[in-house]
Structure 1
């Protein structure tokens, strides 16, 4: 269990100390944004459309499925998108492209999942400097006309054209509804009023009034099918695993979601949870007594080189109605 789990999802005496720090953090973010707005801190405008996609929560399982939907939507409409994200490796280097041939243990699992999903249709680049990373992507792929910047909500140096913010109201993501470090939120809900597109998942509690945020678009996560890691074209519904002896292997980032998923689907499964950013090895999935082994897709792909035929990947897909697609395309046409 993460230390944050002890107080991010409840109110404890510790919050008498944490809440004032959260207030100071909120003022700091406001001051930082004001400095960029007044050109005290210089920003950079690139010659292509910049879309930022981020979440208000530190832990959010919705952002990656929404990104997959966004990439598919843009490509289907004839756009040529590229993705940039921050390099979270222990030894950050110059901006570089992530492909299927990249070492999955040297990068974040979600980033490797992006490269697997997008492949040649949408290049994925990582780097600590978002402006330099975006420029390196454009130099390599001059035909790219849209850059999606992940986790760029509070990074104002790279000017954005469209801002998409995800609000996940699940207990694990939204928690006690307080700003860090007192809670898991990175910004307050009332700071979202000027965002271009707000996408929600789940139902807020009765204390929250979403009408104050203006128009919001709801998404649903769908987890109905799994595919075999060695033979991805082989797919089966989750329901077909109900009467089998299962082992679910995951890292700490997905352990809570996997536990809830096992309970929801009424699976006869044993959960194996490893530390955050765990480097999976063949030993971790060498479970001879299991009829099948399920892993979240981002973890399963890290095991592809040494996978066996028992290993199945559990993807998260986003279902979003056509209304969001319509407003996105309208905003893009207005920017061109």
Structure 2
């Protein structure tokens, strides 16, 4: 520890260094848990369908859900029947259920609701993703491939392709929780099953594929009507975001030439209530698609014009080429390269 902390104290901060011993214990537990699954001591389950897991090795959002939707649309365009499983973070209840267009968001979770509405793919949520996938295949036995929204550390579900997503923060200070943002060692985890790395920010922190993110040219109201963002220029606007990085959304709005008189940043997966909107009577309010699945269901105060601004997310073509090459042999019954112990 004497050889590590002095330089790290300057570059990583005193609090991170104080938490460093706890992070080392966390790292040991992570490695032991993974080893238990690999050796079959802890059981994992394989299903007769290719499973693509999209997740993070860092805490916080990095563009995972937009990537999940882009993957689904890419696979659907090839004629594949795609299903989705998710835990449904922040939802009420733990039972397995199908997310339908009329499923209340507090029951499904905001991200599963957004995915279902944006893609039309069957989406199942459960506290255990294996339960969600079991019920998905029972209801839709012709499913060609499954995308698991998050769940990189959910080893109980065997997977065939692992995709990890980073934004401009990269791996942060490179230390595990709680001294840093890492859930798993990086780049150590890269050699233990990760197939594809995608960067969703403006500047990739290290090697991997890149994607383009920009706001759509039109905002969408609750009734489905659309309004060009250019029509909102020179108007006083309010922007709100209950996502992992709301400031990034606000910056993108400003980059479109919009004037934000007020910005309201809420915690990720914020459970919006009527009170959150009452003070915005008579204002034009812009939000993300993820927030809109909750906000559009609330009674609007007089004069409020609430508009969701979709995000256009486009991974580079080489990323999809690499994905297709990995997936092609899996569409026939071949053993998984990520198999552990079949339950």
**Deviations 1:100-150 (CA, angstroms, capped at 9, x unpaired):** 21112334322221121122xx11111111111110111011111211112
Give the match's secondary structure for 1:106. helix
Pick aligned residue for 2:316 from 294, 316, 321:
321
Distance 1:262 1:36 in 2: 45
Q: Do the aligned partners of residues 297 and 149 (structure 1) sit closer, same or farther apart at CA in structure 2, a change above 3 Å counting?
A: same
Shift of 1:275: 4.4
Using the TM superposition, name which of 129-138 and 302-311 deviates more.
302-311
In structure 1, stretches of 5+ residues that fail to align are 1-9, 211-215
State yes or no: 1:288 paired with 2:293: no
* Number of residues of Structure 1 aligned to a counterpart in Structure 2: 313
Stretch of structure 1 that moved more, 95-104 or 26-35: 26-35
**After alignment, is 97-106 or 251-260 more displaced?**
251-260
Q: How far is the alpha carbon of 1:274 from its aligned partner?
A: 3.4
* 1:233-254 alpha-carbon deviations (Å, 9 max, x no partner): 41423x4423111011222634
Aligned 8 A contact 1:248 1:295 in 2: yes
Q: Does 1:311 align with 2:321?
A: no
What is the match of residue 142 of structure 2? 143
Structure 2 residue 258 is the aligned partner of structure 1 residue 260: no
Match of 2:265 among 261, 264, 273: 273
Distance 1:72 1:99, change over 3 A: same
Q: Is 1:178–2:175 an aligned residue pair? A: yes
Question: For 1:70-149, what aligned pairs fall within 5 Å after superposition?
Answer: 70-89=71-90, 91-119=92-120, 122-149=121-148
Q: 1:183-216 CA deviation, whole Å, 9 max, x = no partner?
A: 22222123213411111233245xxx53xxxxx2
How far 1:333 sits from its partner (Å)?
1.3
* TM-score, normalisation: structure 1: 0.84
When normalised by structure 2's length, the TM-score is 0.83
Structure 2 SS opposite 1:105: helix
Q: Distance in 2 between matches of 1:109 and 1:16?
A: 36
State how 1:28-67 maps to structure 2 within 5 Å: 28-67=29-68
Contact 2:88 2:112 in 1 (8 A): no
**Partner deviation per Cα, 1:131-184 (whole Å, 9 max, x = no partner):** 11110111011111211112221122211111111122x24x754343211122
Matched, 1:302 2:308: no
The offset of 1:311, in angstroms, is 1.1
Specify whether residues 304 and 289 from structure 1 end up closer, same or farther in structure 2 by C-alpha distance, changes over 3 A only.
closer
Map of 2:215 onto structure 1:
223
User: RMSD across aligned C-alpha pairs, in angstroms?
Assistant: 2.3
Secondary structure of the structure 1 residue equivalent to 2:296: helix
Unaligned 5+ residue runs, structure 2? 1-10, 333-343
Distance 2:212 2:57 in 1: 17
Distance 1:324 1:241, change over 3 A: same
